[in-house]
């Protein structure tokens, strides 16, 4: 497309982004003409993206402030050249999508001009909405552009740059006020602006944003200035103070306040500012009540709605009081100057005071003159964290002294530096004497007293500023300890410190982990506990107050805070990993249930890692592993662990394609029968009257063809000639044999008669061969059991006429069908005429599908084709045999290895009895595999219920491994040893045993609980006999099933067939080796 044809199609992106200013300007003009054409087609989405990308980089190329301002205005005015509102909104959507996509790539030298471009487009957007008379549908579509998935105010898309939302909050109301002011003097003033419709995207972003900074920016830059502008002016504030406040803090939107409504400008008209303010506050409250609003944002928005009016009233009173105190000050009667304290009330309470001092007067007790307030103390420079004198290892170190001074400002100063110093890997807590003791002061205060001051009221009302600062100091002190403990030397110092364990134990005992005020403190306490967890010993004599395990178990099982659950499970794992603490592992531990409950959350890798580590520590002890086999969730846990292995191996494999195709042997699907050419009657009649040697020449041309690699014996050549013309030699004499052989060279110059020497001389003619004719055997007469001498016919009609001649020659009225091997009985001639039609082939061959090959694949190179029974021939190999499989290329991650270790422990525990080495008995001459049943019976009787539970657990474990066998077949690991584990477990899942003959056990005596897997168990014959003898008569209907079941259970110990004897309604088993059938 050329730039000279602007109406037919939009300009190319390379013209808009050209390095030449003239080219860019011409492209912009052509684009303006194109967009203003009302008859043009709608621009598609891909074309719009390309167009805006060119515009974006065209603006990128612009230099100099005046040029940039003019180009930004010209680009924004393109929106108003579009006559259709929908097309204009589509053009705006392309702008915002491009800005959001390319914003992060703008460097700091160009960011200012793009801020200006955004401001221009916000301004023109309002002008577009005014042109549409604030139509609700147009406004709604514009809001969707801003808050949609690709818009600048989308709360759910984390890829949207937050700086763009901040800038929009800054300029939104200001540009709306400018647009209303510029159009107020026109002949047709605009309709009032529907403030609620225009603020919907910002209210949704404020309600759903995950960051508090974004909410504060929207509140401070847009909502608070707008609500303040709509509020009625304070009558008590003097003009000078009002002017100073407005210049420094507040914003005024005079045009917006005078020409605004709530939602519908057609019906509402201009709405008073105070009423409009109340409606907007109500809309804020309604937005906060929506279910998708985040809890932290809901509390802030409720404050704006509920407490903002009270705050405004208190502020008005304060303004009046400050105006009164500005020109007056009281003096005490003793003549000394008093101090007047003015409390400044803010949303967070009484946070500051203004001291003033008056020079004492000796002559009066009346008011003194006005004394201006002292200037505020400059804030300390906190950029000097690493100066030597802050980290000197001396008792008089300022940070250590500030922490223990009790002066809040000094404590804050020290903690500000320590919070940054703890990120330095070279920072040593022990290098500053008394620093660790000072850091423990505030957390210990909070555990003993501070947590009691926090109430539920603080969810809505801010706490006292001093208490809030103290709580923050406690958290910051604990934060410093927690981060510093990541260094090994600091961890050792904290683990051996006398304040560490008492603080941890008291915090876990008294703090409520579910309260928002305490949750962060408890989380830091648990992180600090990780440092000392491996060094503590907990036994049965440990008092409950000194045992951290019950609180940690409760937090892991009942908390809804994901981070706290991970921290608690990690702390339990570190503690219980110590062999001295193994006695504290319980089969019904709450943390075990939590680990199983969170195990299906495969996408949350940190949580799954913590759950797997705790599960591994729990089942690493044999007694706990045996008890876990009886857990009702054990099969599900095993299946989840295997599924986790399959999930983690995705992305770690490569696809391997192996071609194992063998040689393929094919033949044509249709065979053509060839036979030597015989003279037809017409050819013979033509050749016979010709004189010799011309007749010999023509005969050779008809009967032979030239083939350099073929040969015919001279005898065959002469005999064929003689047999053809000898019957007519009296009328037409024959040539002698030598002349016939010589004539070959005249007809076929390349042929040559020769004699081949050898044991037997051979006289041949080389270079010729018999002419071959293709015969269609479908039309060959096979009457008289295929002995008919007639040649092949050319069509089925000719063949049918020939068969009728055979039928006419029959003398008997009835005759059987004599076609080849037809076995039809004798029938009349009319019936036989109809019957022979079934033997005739169609004149046309059957049509093949285009995908059907013309060749037939043979199963082997020497396989016969065609065959008489094609349906029973050996199946041929496929043409393309490709094996596609996946193989791991890297080792699995740590999560998968932990899951594999858990599976391995459960496997070894489930097959513990099968792995027991066979005992050697002197009576059996040391042969392996001999196990005395009486000894096992005595041992099992000694174990009692415990032994029965262990056997039940093993049965459940084996059954679970049989159930996950097919899943485990899909697990592939690169390491050969680990893959050997998988193979071993899969093999055990197939046979139900671990490669050895299962241990013979006696099932439970309760018939209702009796069940066994014939692959796993070897059931004693005596038990089965007793059970069957006590059975009712109806069980005899199941005789075949019971025979098969008992045969499997006997494991082949009986040489004959096992049968059930039926005697007087009783069932018994033959006790001897060979069972006989009754």
Q: In the predicted model, what is the mean pLDDT of residues 790-810?
A: 83
Question: Model confidence at 812, in pLDDT bands (50, 70, 90)?
Answer: confident
Per-residue model confidence (pLDDT) at position 640: 94
Using the Cα atoms of residue 185, residue 186, residue 189 and residue 195 in order, give the sign of their dihedral. Answer: negative
Could you tell me which residue, 791 or 1022, shows the higher pLDDT? 791
787 falls within a domain: yes
Alpha helices, DSSP H, located in 326-464: 398-403, 408-421, 435-448
Q: Which of 80-94, 534-548, 1033-1047 has the lowest mean pLDDT?
A: 1033-1047
Rounded to 5°, the CA angle 884-888-889 comes to 115
590 has a pLDDT exceeding 90? yes
Per-residue model confidence (pLDDT) at position 336: 37
Contact 527, 569 (CB under 8 A): no
Contact 466, 408 (CB under 8 A): yes
DSSP state of 483: H
1057 has a pLDDT exceeding 50? no
Per-residue model confidence (pLDDT) at position 467: 83
Neighbours of 397 (CB within 10 A): 21
Percent of the chain with pLDDT over 90: 14
Question: Model confidence at 777, in pLDDT bands (50, 70, 90)?
Answer: low
938 has a pLDDT exceeding 90? no
Residues 352 and 391 in one domain: no
In tens, the pLDDT along 5-27 reads 444 444 556 677 777 778 888 88
Q: For the chain, what is the mean pLDDT?
A: 76
Per-residue model confidence (pLDDT) at position 960: 92
Per-residue model confidence (pLDDT) at position 618: 92
Residues 157 and 282 in one domain: yes
Q: In the predicted model, what is the mean pLDDT of residues 110-123?
A: 89
Distance (Å, whole) CA 552 – CA 539: 16
Distance (Å, whole) CA 833 – CA 63: 103
Per-residue model confidence (pLDDT) at position 903: 93
Residues 764 and 790 in one domain: no
Q: In the predicted model, what is the mean pLDDT of residues 40-60?
A: 82
Q: In the predicted model, what is the mean pLDDT of residues 652-668?
A: 84
Burial 602-619 (b: 16+ CB within 10 A, else e): eeeeebbbbbbbbbbbbb
Per-residue model confidence (pLDDT) at position 553: 92
In tens, the pLDDT along 322-335 reads 655 554 443 333 44
665 falls within a domain: no
Residues 393 and 472 in one domain: yes
Residues 971 and 1025 in one domain: no
Neighbours of 985 (CB within 10 A): 24
Per-residue model confidence (pLDDT) at position 570: 93
Whether omega for the bond prior to residue 693 falls within 30 degrees of 0, making it cis, is yes
In tens, the pLDDT along 450-479 reads 888 766 555 556 677 888 888 899 999 999
Residues 344 and 403 in one domain: no
Highest mean pLDDT among 305-314, 590-599, 727-736, 1067-1076: 590-599
In tens, the pLDDT along 487-502 reads 888 888 998 899 999 9
Per-residue model confidence (pLDDT) at position 321: 63
Residues 993 and 1025 in one domain: no
Q: Which of 137-141, 477-481, 741-745, 1042-1046 has the lowest mean pLDDT?
A: 1042-1046
Could you tell me which residue, 1051 or 900, shows the higher pLDDT? 900
255 falls within a domain: yes
Distance (Å, whole) CA 424 – CA 413: 18
87 has a pLDDT exceeding 90? no
Per-residue model confidence (pLDDT) at position 70: 86
Alpha helices, DSSP H, located in 748-787: 783-786
Percent of the chain with pLDDT over 70: 75
Residues 299 and 410 in one domain: no
Per-residue model confidence (pLDDT) at position 934: 41
479 falls within a domain: yes
Q: In the predicted model, what is the mean pLDDT of residues 649-660?
A: 86
859 falls within a domain: no
125 by DSSP, 3-state: which?
helix
Phi-psi category of 929—alpha, beta or left, where left has phi over 0 and alpha has psi -120 to 50? left
Domain that holds residue 360: 327-373
DSSP state of 928: T
In tens, the pLDDT along 351-385 reads 333 343 433 333 333 344 445 555 554 444 444 44
Q: In the predicted model, what is the mean pLDDT of residues 235-251?
A: 44
Contact 433, 395 (CB under 8 A): yes
Could you tell me which residue, 402 or 848, shows the higher pLDDT? 402
840 has a pLDDT exceeding 70? yes
Q: In the predicted model, what is the mean pLDDT of residues 1021-1034?
A: 50
Q: Out of 720, 750, 770, pick the residue that ends a domain.
A: 770
Q: Which of 117-126, 517-526, 859-868 has the lowest mean pLDDT?
A: 859-868
Q: Out of 770, 786, 821, pick the residue that ends a domain.
A: 770
993 falls within a domain: yes
Could you tell me which residue, 183 or 776, shows the higher pLDDT? 183
Question: Model confidence at 391, in pLDDT bands (50, 70, 90)?
Answer: confident
804 has a pLDDT exceeding 80? yes
1011 has a pLDDT exceeding 50? no
Residues 528 and 451 in one domain: yes
Per-residue model confidence (pLDDT) at position 523: 92
Using the Cα atoms of residue 473, residue 476, residue 482 and residue 486 in order, give the sign of their dihedral. Answer: negative
Report the candidate in 236, 223, 215 with the shortest Cα–Cα distance to residue 295: 215
Distance (Å, whole) CA 511 – CA 518: 6
Residues 217 and 164 in one domain: yes
Number of domains in the chain: 7
Q: Out of 947, 968, 998, pick the residue that ends a domain.
A: 998
Residues 960 and 1023 in one domain: no
Per-residue model confidence (pLDDT) at position 651: 84
Contact 941, 934 (CB under 8 A): no
723 by DSSP, 3-state: which?
helix
Per-residue model confidence (pLDDT) at position 634: 92
Report the candidate in 440, 431, 339 with the shortest Cα–Cα distance to residue 388: 431
175 falls within a domain: yes
Instruction: Return the H-helix or E-strand segment holding 682.
Output: helix 681-687
In tens, the pLDDT along 701-724 reads 888 999 888 898 988 888 888 888
Per-residue model confidence (pLDDT) at position 641: 94
Distance (Å, whole) CA 359 – CA 862: 128
Could you tell me which residue, 913 or 857, shows the higher pLDDT? 857
Q: In the predicted model, what is the mean pLDDT of residues 231-246?
A: 50
Highest mean pLDDT among 89-98, 349-358, 869-878: 89-98
Residues 781 and 764 in one domain: no
Contact 679, 771 (CB under 8 A): no
What are the DSSP calls for 137-176, one per residue? HHHHHHHHHHHSTTSTT-SS-TTS-HHHHHHHHHHHHHHH
Per-residue model confidence (pLDDT) at position 569: 94
844 falls within a domain: no
């Amino acid at each position: 497309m050329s730039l000279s044809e602007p109406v037919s199609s939009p300009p190319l992106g390379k013209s808009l982004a050209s390095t030449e200013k003239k080219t860019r300007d011409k492209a912009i003009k052509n684009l303006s003409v194109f967009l203003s054409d009302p008859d043009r087609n709608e621009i598609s989405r891909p074309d719009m993206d390309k167009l805006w990308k060119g515009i974006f980089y065209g603006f990128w190329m612009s230099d100099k402030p005046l040029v940039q301002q003019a180009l930004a205005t010209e680009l924004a005015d393109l929106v108003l050249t579009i006559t259709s509102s929908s097309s204009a909104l589509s053009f705006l959507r392309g702008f915002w999508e491009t800005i959001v996509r390319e914003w992060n790539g703008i460097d700091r030298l160009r960011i200012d001009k793009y801020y200006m471009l955004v401001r221009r487009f916000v301004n023109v957007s309002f002008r577009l909405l005014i042109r549409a008379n604030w139509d609700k549908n147009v406004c709604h579509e514009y809001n969707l552009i801003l808050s949609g998935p690709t818009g600048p105010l989308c709360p759910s898309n984390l890829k949207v740059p937050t700086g763009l939302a901040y800038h929009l909050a800054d300029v939104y109301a200001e540009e709306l006020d400018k647009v209303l002011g510029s159009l107020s003097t026109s002949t047709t003033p605009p309709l009032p602006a529907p403030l609620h419709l225009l603020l919907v995207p910002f209210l949704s972003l404020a309600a759903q944003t995950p960051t508090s900074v974004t909410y504060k920016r929207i509140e401070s830059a847009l909502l608070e200035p707008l609500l303040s502008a709509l509020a009625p002016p304070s009558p008590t504030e003097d003009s000078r103070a009002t002017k100073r406040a407005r210049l420094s803090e507040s914003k005024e939107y005079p045009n917006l306040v005078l020409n605004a409504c709530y939602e519908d400008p057609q019906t509402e008209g201009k709405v008073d500012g105070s009423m409009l303010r109340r409606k907007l506050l109500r809309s804020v409250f309604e937005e906060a009540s929506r279910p998708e609003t985040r809890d932290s944002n809901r509390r802030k928005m409720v404050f704006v709605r509920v407490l903002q009016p009270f705050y405004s009233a208190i502020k008005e009173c304060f303004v009046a009081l400050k105006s009164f105190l500005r020109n007056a000050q009281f003096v005490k009667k003793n003549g000394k100057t008093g101090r007047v304290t003015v409390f400044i009330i803010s949303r967070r309470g009484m946070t500051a005071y203004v001291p003033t001092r008056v020079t004492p007067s000796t002559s009066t007790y009346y008011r003194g003159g006005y004394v201006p307030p002292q200037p505020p103390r400059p804030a300390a420079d906190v950029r000097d964290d690493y100066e030597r004198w802050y980290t000197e290892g001396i008792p008089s170190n300022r940070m250590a002294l500030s922490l223990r001074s009790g002066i809040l400002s000094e404590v804050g100063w020290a903690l500000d530096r320590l919070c940054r110093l703890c990120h330095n890997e070279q920072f040593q807590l022990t290098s500053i004497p008394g620093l660790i003791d000072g850091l423990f002061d505030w957390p210990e205060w909070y555990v003993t007293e501070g947590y009691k001051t926090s109430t539920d009221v603080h969810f809505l009302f801010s706490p006292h500023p001093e208490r809030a600062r103290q709580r923050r100091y406690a958290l910051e002190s604990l934060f410093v300890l927690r981060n510093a403990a990541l260094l090994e030397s600091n961890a050792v110092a904290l683990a051996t410190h006398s304040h560490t364990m008492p603080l941890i134990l008291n915090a876990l005992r008294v703090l409520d982990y579910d309260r928002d005020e305490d949750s962060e403190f408890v989380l830091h306490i648990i992180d600090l506990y990780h440092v000392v967890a491996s060094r503590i010993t907990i036994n049965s004599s440990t008092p409950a107050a000194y045992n951290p395990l019950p609180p940690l178990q409760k937090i892991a099982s009942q908390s809804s805070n994901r981070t706290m659950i991970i921290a608690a499970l990690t702390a339990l794992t570190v503690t219980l990993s110590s062999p001295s603490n193994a006695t504290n592992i319980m089969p019904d531990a709450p943390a075990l249930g939590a680990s199983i409950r969170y195990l299906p959350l495969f996408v949350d890798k940190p949580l799954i890692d913590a759950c797997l580590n705790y599960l591994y520590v729990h089942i690493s002890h044999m007694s706990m592993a045996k008890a876990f086999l009886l857990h009702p969730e054990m099969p599900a846990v095993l299946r989840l662990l295997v599924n986790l292995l399959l999930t983690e191996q995705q992305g770690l494999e490569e696809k391997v394609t192996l071609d194992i195709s063998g040689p393929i042997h094919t033949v044509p699907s249709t065979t053509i029968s060839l036979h030597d050419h015989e003279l037809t009657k017409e050819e013979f009649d033509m050749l016979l009257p010709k004189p010799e040697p011309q007749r010999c020449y023509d005969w050779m041309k008809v009967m032979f063809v030239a083939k350099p690699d073929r040969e015919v014996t001279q005898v065959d050549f002469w005999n064929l000639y003689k047999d053809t013309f000898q019957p007519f030699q009296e009328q037409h004499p024959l040539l002698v044999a030598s002349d016939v052989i010589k004539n070959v060279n005249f007809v076929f110059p390349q042929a040559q008669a020769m004699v081949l020497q050898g044991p037997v001389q051979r006289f041949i003619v080389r270079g010729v061969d018999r002419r071959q004719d293709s015969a269609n055997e479908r039309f060959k007469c096979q009457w008289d059991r295929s002995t008919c001498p007639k040649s092949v016919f050319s069509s089925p009609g000719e063949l049918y006429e020939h068969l009728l001649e055979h039928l006419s020659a029959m003398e008997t009225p009835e005759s059987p069908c004599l076609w080849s091997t037809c076995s039809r009985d004798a029938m009349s001639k009319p019936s036989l005429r109809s019957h022979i039609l079934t033997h005739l082939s169609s004149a046309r061959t059957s049509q093949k599908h285009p995908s059907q090959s013309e060749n037939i694949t043979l199963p082997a190179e020497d396989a016969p084709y065609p065959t008489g029974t094609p349906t029973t021939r050996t199946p041929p190999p496929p043409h393309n045999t490709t094996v596609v499989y996946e193989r791991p290329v890297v080792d699995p991650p740590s999560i998968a290895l932990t899951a594999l270790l858990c599976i391995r422990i459960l496997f070894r525990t489930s097959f513990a009895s099968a792995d027991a080495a066979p005992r050697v008995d002197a009576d059996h001459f040391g042969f392996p595999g001999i196990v005395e049943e009486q000894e096992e019976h005595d041992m099992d009787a000694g174990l009692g219920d415990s032994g029965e539970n262990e056997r039940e657990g093993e049965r459940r474990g084996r059954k679970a491994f049989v159930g996950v066998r097919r899943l485990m077949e899909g697990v592939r690991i690169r390491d050969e040893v680990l893959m050997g584990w998988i193979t071993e477990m899969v093999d055990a899942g197939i046979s139900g045993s671990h490669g050895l003959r299962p241990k013979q056990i006696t099932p439970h005596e309760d018939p209702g609980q009796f069940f066994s897997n014939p692959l796993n168990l070897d059931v004693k014959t005596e038990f089965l006999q007793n059970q069957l003898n006590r059975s009712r008569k109806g069980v005899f209907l199941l005789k075949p099933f019971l025979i098969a079941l008992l045969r499997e259970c006997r494991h082949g110990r009986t040489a004959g067939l096992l049968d059930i004897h039926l005697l007087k309604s009783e069932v018994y088993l033959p006790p001897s080796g060979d069972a006989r059938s009754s």
